[in-house]
Amino acid sequence: MAKTGLHDDCALIGMAESDVGIVPDKTPRELCVQVTLDAVRDAGLTLEDVDGLITCNAFAEPIMYHAEAVAEYLGWQPKHCVTVNTGGGTTFMAIKMAAAAIAAGMAHTIVIAMADSLRSHMTREQAMVVQSSSGHPHYEQPYGPTVPAYYALLARAHMDRFGTTEEHFAYAAVSCRAWASQHPKAQKRDPISVEDVMGSRPIADPLKVLDCSLVSDGGAAVVITRGDRVSGSKQKPIYLLGYGEGHAYEHISQASDLTTSAAVMSGQAAYADSGLTPNDMDLLQLYDCFTPALLIQVEDLGFCAKGEGGDWLASGISQPGGHKPLNTHGGMLSYCHPGNPGAMFGLTEAMLQLRGQAGARQLSGINTALCHAQGGIMSSHATLILGNEDPS
Amino acid sequence: MSRPIPRPSPTEQPFYEACARGELKLQYCKPCTRFLFYPRTHCDRCHSPQLDWEQVSGKGTIASYTVVRRAVSEAFTAPYIIALIDLAEGPRMMSQVINAEPDALAVGHTVSVDFAAWSDEIKLPVFRLQGVPSEAGPSHHADSEGKT
Ligand SMILES: [Zn+2]
């Protein structure tokens, strides 16, 4: 059946990740170049077969014309070349923009590549300041909020409104770590308990350091191609079944609702686009920059009723062996979080799982995955639904 | 590294001039009969450019708060309290709650505005804990938190 979206007729056919975690020997640009080449090779192609490049900028090495600089480094003159930046949601918006560019005839095969080195090529203070600079320069930043503080404001409001507890948030960190312990590349692999999270160093009450995502280096890339070029792919193609966005505000002090996010809008749009429901999702790859963000997404994307995200996480349903596996690479809480590229690893993991290449943590009988990312402070959202069966 | 200091645009100037005098002024949209914040050239509901500056009560309630244990930079000394304040007149603003024990804070507690110098030219609104919400019992007096 023909679908109405712009993405109906293309598929993800290649992917690559760099080393992740602490990778001091490469600059962000070098990581971006590496994953571009590796993703194209994974697809069984060469750069001559690819005519588009989409990247996002790097905090640790900002470049005015980033995508062009990456192409130049490779001695490559792609037909379509653009840098995008919508915070953490960049990844999935870039996938949609690539699909739209393909539908518009701007390119037939596009690499989307992102990398940054917040860990090794910035000081801790630089990394904190550059990230908190998302706050309003006149009406937020002068008061000294940190990014954890912004999310702590959401956490406190959720606790007050729904009776959510600090332990509920801790279960999100425990779940992601349980998955990461099965991933040989994860930056943090030692299993943790709720007590470990509760006893970890306070950062911005009620958040402790184990409620916060990692600061990492790393990059990842994917290759998307037009439908008529999918057959004969080297790898099992992964299809874009649905997409949605939601944009509620930019600055947290302008949010009309602190406990329900525009993930509701983006999720509903993606479900409508795909004709699928939350029950149909075999794998959830959500944006776990901080544990409360993960809890709120679980609710807003319809995996439990509003206010019950804490009980959902505490039930173990998202952990290895549970029937709603969540962030099977370990998420940004335990796998890696190099900044804007953070959600790329949610996408590459979903592709590995849908291809059946996830090694020891491979899920059985998986056909669909929901990938979600948000930018700002739960401000702008993008949801991508993927499948490993041709929908046409 | 120093604390970020606002550099007001002409549109914002009345807000900061009022702060310097110890007054909290917000823009009021007559067609919408509502206050708005932050300062804008146009109402963010009806988009009228005709906005009047009016002094407000400086009273509000805590919509949410956090005690920052790890400061954003060397310019700040942790712990300090960041809060979202719902002003009595409607708009919400981010601010600091000063001179309060973290354990004394709760969502819904009432606060009142004060002004603190951020630079030689700029004073910013900050808030002091006023008491517990009326349904939770009798409210404390404003100055019971003590001066530090
Ligand atoms: Zn108006």
**Single-letter code of the amino acid located at A284:** L
**Chain B touched by A257 (CB under 8 Å):** no
A156/chain B closest Cα distance in angstroms:
6
pLDDT confidence tier of residue A9, bands split at 50, 70 and 90: confident
Q: What pLDDT does B141 receive?
A: 37
Q: What pLDDT does B148 receive?
A: 36
| Assigned domain for A31 exists | yes
User: Are residues A346 and A203 in contact, defined by beta-carbon separation less than 8 angstroms?
Assistant: no
pLDDT confidence tier of residue A238, bands split at 50, 70 and 90: very high
Cα B148 to Cα B145: distance, rounded to the nearest angstrom: 9
Taking any CB pair shorter than 8 Å as contact, residues of chain B touching chain A are 1, 3-8, 12, 37-38, 63-76, 80, 82-84, 92-96, 102, 106-108, 118, 124
Q: What pLDDT does B131 receive?
A: 65
Cα A365 to Cα B10: distance, rounded to the nearest angstrom: 61
Average pLDDT of A225-239? 95
**Single-letter code of the amino acid located at A33:** V
pLDDT in tens, B51-103: 999 999 999 999 999 999 999 999 999 999 999 999 999 999 999 999 999 99
Q: Which domains does chain B have, with CATH numbers?
A: 13-129 (2.40.50.840)
- Give A288's DSSP letter: -
pLDDT confidence tier of residue A386, bands split at 50, 70 and 90: very high
The residue segments making up the domain with residue A18 are 10-121+216-229
Q: Is the pLDDT of residue A323 over 70?
A: yes
Q: Is the pLDDT of residue A69 over 80?
A: yes
**Chain B touched by A130 (CB under 8 Å):** no
Q: Is the pLDDT of residue A389 over 90?
A: yes
* Torsion sign over Cα A103, A107, A110, A115: negative
Query: For B65, which residue in chain A has the nearest alpha carbon?
Result: A153
pLDDT confidence tier of residue B10, bands split at 50, 70 and 90: very high
pLDDT, averaged across chain B: 90
Q: Do B102 and A148 touch (CB under 8 A)?
A: no
Q: What pLDDT does A8 receive?
A: 55
Q: Give the lowest-confidence range in A236-250, A350-364, B125-139.
A: B125-139
| Assigned domain for A311 exists | no
Q: Is the pLDDT of residue B147 over 50?
A: no
| Assigned domain for A389 exists | no
Q: Is the pLDDT of residue B134 over 50?
A: no
Average pLDDT of A297-317? 98
pLDDT in tens, A37-59: 999 999 999 999 999 999 999 99
Average pLDDT of B3-7? 95
What share of chain A has pLDDT > 90, as a percent?
92
Average pLDDT of A99-128? 94
Q: Is the pLDDT of residue B135 over 50?
A: no
**Chain B touched by A154 (CB under 8 Å):** yes
Structure tokens at A309: 């995200």
Q: Do B68 and A202 touch (CB under 8 A)?
A: no
Number of domains, chain A: 1
- Residue A226 CA: distances (Å) to CA of A10, A327, B148: 4, 28, 66
Q: Which domain CATH number covers A66?
A: 3.40.47.10
| Assigned domain for A328 exists | no
Judging contacts by C-beta atoms under 8 Å, the chain B residues touching residue A160 are 64, 106-108
Interface contacts (A, B; CB < 8 Å)? 108
**Chain B touched by A253 (CB under 8 Å):** yes
Q: Is the pLDDT of residue B137 over 90?
A: no
Query: For B98, which residue in chain A has the nearest alpha carbon?
Result: A143
Cα A374 to Cα A379: distance, rounded to the nearest angstrom: 7
User: Are residues B131 and B141 in contact, defined by beta-carbon separation less than 8 angstroms?
Assistant: yes
Average pLDDT of B97-120? 96
b/e for A215-229, b at 16 or more Cβ within 10 A? bbbbbbbbbbbbbeb
Q: What pLDDT does A90 receive?
A: 86
Closest partner residue to B38 among A128, A129, A139, by Cβ?
Answer: A139
- Please indicate, yes or no, whether the overall pTM of this predicted structure exceeds 0.90: yes
**Chain B touched by A237 (CB under 8 Å):** no
pLDDT, averaged across chain A: 95
Cα B113 to Cα B96: distance, rounded to the nearest angstrom: 10
pLDDT confidence tier of residue B2, bands split at 50, 70 and 90: confident
Q: Is the pLDDT of residue B145 over 60?
A: no
Q: Is the pLDDT of residue A1 over 50?
A: no
Protein residues with C-beta less than 5 angstroms from the ion ligand 1: B 29, 31-32, 43, 45-46, 48
Q: Do B3 and A144 touch (CB under 8 A)?
A: yes
Judging contacts by C-beta atoms under 8 Å, the chain B residues touching residue A296 are none
| Assigned domain for A50 exists | yes
| Assigned domain for A101 exists | yes
Q: What pLDDT does A126 receive?
A: 87
Judging contacts by C-beta atoms under 8 Å, the chain A residues touching residue B26 are none
Q: Do A145 and B65 touch (CB under 8 A)?
A: no
pLDDT in tens, A144-193: 999 999 999 999 999 999 999 999 999 999 999 999 999 999 999 999 99
Q: What pLDDT does B51 receive?
A: 97
Q: Is the pLDDT of residue A115 over 70?
A: yes
Ligand 1 center from residue B28 Cα (angstroms): 8
| Assigned domain for A109 exists | yes
